[in-house]
Amino acid sequence: MPYTVTGDEVTVHATVSKLPQPDGSFIYQNGMGETYYRGDVIDDDMIAEDWKEALESGEGKLYDSLSQVLEQGGDKGTRSEAHLGLPFDGYDDMEEDDVLAAMRNLPSAAVTKMQEYEANRDEPRARIVNYNVGYGENSIDRQEGKVGSDVQEADENKASARLTTREEPEEGLVTPGEGVTGTGDPQIAYGSKKDEE
């Protein structure tokens, strides 16, 4: 039986695995969440098994929580207008840089909605479509040098700062690096070339 979303917005998880316990019960591992909006109808195979059990039982803490955003019934495949419209009022009036600044402070579900909407426009803005929620930036800005990490001064006492790596000149012989090279060259003690200097 399908379920209708009665809350404004809810992320619904599916059961990824079901782990049996010695007492015959199960622990459910849920994931692959998808965000739905008020009026969406979700097929029951897209909802975690323990969620369905709680909704059908009509009792318990999980039921109390889920019953505020989901109810049984509805016509399969129904999607709310929220999936078709703007991510939020005024979105189309915003400059690309302003949208990107907003994306850094919004939850991932809202960012995903913005990216989906942008990708379906006649002229999608690549910096928005390619935005990476985890890094809080997009690959285009990184390549153009608009964002980056602060460069830290090298610590001369750090072991890796004293390591000399292999050099491959365009012409002439390769100079092996220090340590085990895997090329058949004899092992050179770490930091020995820096010590010679």
Q: Choose the weakest-confidence range: 24-28, 39-43, 161-165.
A: 161-165
Shared domain check, 102 and 57:
no
Same-domain status, 110 and 52: no
CA distance 110 to 128: 12
- Where does a domain end: 16, 48, 72? 72
Q: For residue 136, give the nearest of 96, 107, 116 by alpha carbon.
A: 107
Q: Which of 26, 51, 72 is the last residue of a domain?
A: 72
Structural domain contains residue 180: no
Instruction: Domain count for the chain, please give it.
Output: 2
Amino acid 155: pLDDT = 66
Q: Is residue 149 part of a domain?
A: no
Query: Can you give the pLDDT at residue 152?
Result: 61
Note down the domain range covering 124. 85-143
Region 109-115: mean pLDDT is 87
In a domain, 116, yes or no: yes
Query: Are residues 36 and 61 both part of a single domain?
Result: yes
| Structure confidence at residue 22 as a pLDDT band (50, 70, 90) | very high
